[in-house]
Structure 1
Amino acid sequence: MLSEGAKSESSELMIQTKLPIPTMAASPSSSAAPPLPLSPPWIELPDDLTVNILQRLDAKEIIMSAQLVCSTWWRVCKNPAMWRVIHLHCAGDKFEFICLRAVDRSQGQLLELKLSGFEVDGGWLHYVADRSSQLRCLTVDVFRRIESSVLTVAIKKLTQLEELHLSLMDPSLSPDDFESIGISCPMLKSFAYNGGQWEFTEYVVAIGKNMPNLRHLRLFSYCIGNQGLEAILDGCPNLELLHLQRCSGLDLQGGLGKRCSDRIKDLILDSEPSQSECDQVDYDWYNDNESTASDSDHSGYAYVPDFI
């Protein structure tokens, strides 16, 4: 049993040997909430640059996915400047919804419309034409089940049209349709047609009589004959480009061939395609200077006419 002196000495020794436990002062950052994630860098881009980037997608990609990425893209995709050029390749039941939604968003500022790959009726064409009075370029590529009368009536409403490209139409247009289009669209400077007819002399006569301001003309796989070619040369004095691809019935050994070569800067008279050409389907045969959106002006759009 320890004496009082020993107890006191033992307690003092224990107190002296207990080392102080260091404490860490709480730093300001340790008690703060974790930092919020950084915003995506693309939302800081100027609107005109964002428009230029998004216009590289087609209308289906913009409406069905791109506009849903963030609130900034949603706002930009409502800007009419986004919809001055509309390219749409879409089959199925969503085509009409996408096309009409895109036209609505243009708010009458649509300048170029390219539609391809459809098998739908053409009632929506009147909706587009009624809301696109400024349209300059229309391409309708690989269409089925559109009545020629519906297409013609819609085109006749587009009185400012400068370029019209129609490819693989079914049913085909008639010479009277060509006449109506030429009369209703007096500013037409570029015309391309690839339909289902073979004998085509009446058609080119209608072109010569009713499309006098043409600078570019492309026709594909028809029997035209010298009479038709002469009608084109007589009726289209400003013609600079003439592509008659896989067209037959022409005899260019005499003065007609020389007249073509002297007058036309860009001339293709191709009556005997190779087998590889026959097997190849090229849906852009009609356009070697496709109108595109660019960043050359404040709105993100620059119209590039085919006939320059």
Structure 2
Amino acid sequence: MVCRSWRRVSKDPSMWWIIELDDLASEGMCRRAIDLSDGGLVEIFIGVESEYWGEAILAYMADRSSLLRSLTLSCSSFFLGELFREAVVKLPLLEYLNVPGLKLSRKSLEVVCKSCPNLKTLKLHHCPFSRDIDNSIALIIALSMPGLRHLELCGHPLSNTGLNAILDRCPHLEYLDLRECLHIDLSGNLEKRCLERIKYLRRPNDYPPETEEESYLRDIFLDSGLFDPLYD
């Protein structure tokens, strides 16, 4: 129930290049929004808590959006397994991947590395307080993502070994978030090395990770060139 002018505008595919899907939308509405982009979708946020149709929407989008550059999955019910991997291989232009609170397995991350060579931003937020050191994710990133510029590993159980590998193999890295990484010890030369290499460093004991809205606003400021992260 809109005016004719708005109805004409709403049918323009460029109106649907960026979409946000959450629990207020039905599955049919989500599919319709993807269809309206006519294959031109470049950014999508999926915050659907229904495991069944949330993953169904991810698959539906991947089949119709090969130009996608930004993907955020903010759904506690998602399991980043086979369906996720099947979707990622269809997104070769992906530059931004954000999966807050979701565990990305080594196998899934390897598929991301192989399928998305243009990836520049990777946000992996885990629940902290893991007592066991695990550098597997850090080593995959170091060996397979040399083009990364922005990396968030909040709560990951990597140690100094994993961090050094990332610093060695990711020469373009500018932003590194290590908040709540309890096995990282930045005393001595490692902190000096990070400060020399990284423009914007969040240490393990810095204040807790920001909300999705705060993260989104910060990214806008960083991209604008009007914001100096050293003086945040």
TM-score normalised by structure 1 residue count: 0.65
Q: Find the partner of 2:194 among 229, 245, 260.
A: 260
In 2 relative to 1, CA 272–216 (structure 1 residues): closer, same or farther, beyond 3 Å?
Answer: closer
Note the aligned Cα RMSD (angstroms).
Answer: 2.4
Pick from 209, 220, 227 the counterpart of residue 154 of structure 2. Answer: 220
Q: CA deviation at 1:177?
A: 1.3
Superposed displacement of residue 73, structure 1: 1.4
Change (3 A) 1:90 1:103: same
C-alpha displacement of 1:195: 3.6
Q: What's the CA shift for 1:118?
A: 1.9
Give yes or no for contact 1:224–1:247 (8 Å, CA) kept in 2.
Answer: yes
> What is the CA–CA distance in structure 1 between the aligned matches of 2:121 and 2:206, rounded to whole Å?
25
Give the aligned residue type for 1:79: D
Give the superposition deviation at 1:285: 5.8
Aligned equivalent of 1:134, options 67, 70, 73:
67
Q: Does 1:248 align with 2:179?
A: no
Residue 123 of structure 1 deviates from its aligned partner by 2.5
Partners of 1:137 and 1:117 in 2: CA distance: 17
8 Å Cα contact 1:166/1:195 also seen in 2: no
**Deviation for aligned residue 1:238:** 0.5
1:76 equivalent in alignment to 2:13? no
SS at match of 1:207: helix
TM-score normalised over the length of structure 2:
0.85
- Whether 1:110 and 2:41 are equivalent positions in the alignment is yes
Q: Does 1:180 align with 2:111?
A: yes
Whether 2:122 is the aligned partner of 1:191: answer yes
Q: Per-residue displacement from partner, 1:230-271 (whole Å, max 9, x unpaired)?
A: 121112110011011111111222222111010100111123
Alignment partner, residue 299 of structure 1: none
Give CA-to-partner distance per residue, 1:38-92, whole Å, 9 cap, x none. xxxxxxxxxxxxxxxxxxxxxxxxxxxxxx222221221111010011122225x
Q: Which residue of 1 is the match for residue 230 of structure 2? A: none
Residue deviations 1:95-114, cap 9 Å, x none?
Answer: 32122111100001111111
What is the aligned counterpart of 2:95 among 162, 174, 188? Answer: 162
Task: Determine which structure has more spread, i.e. the larger CA radius of gyration.
Answer: 1
Provide closer, same or farther for how the CA distance between residues 286 and 178 of structure 1 changes in structure 2, counting only shifts above 3 A: farther
Equivalent residue, structure 2, for 1:282: 211
Give the Å deviation of 1:147: 4.9
Q: CA deviation at 1:150?
A: 0.9
Structure 1: give runs of 5+ residues left out of the alignment.
1-67, 292-302
Change (3 A) 1:271 1:142: farther
**Which letter maps to 1:76?**
V
Figure out how many residues of one structure are paired with residues of the other and give that number: 218
Judging changes above 3 Å, is the alpha-carbon distance between structure 1 residues 138 and 147 closer, same or farther for their aligned structure 2 residues? Answer: closer
- Where does structure 2 lack aligned partners over 5 or more consecutive residues? 225-232
**Change over 3 Å in CA distance of 1:90–1:231 after alignment to 2:** same
Aligned-partner Cα distance in 1 for 2:190–2:85: 32
Distance 1:146 1:178 in 2: 13
Q: Does 1:119 align with 2:119?
A: no
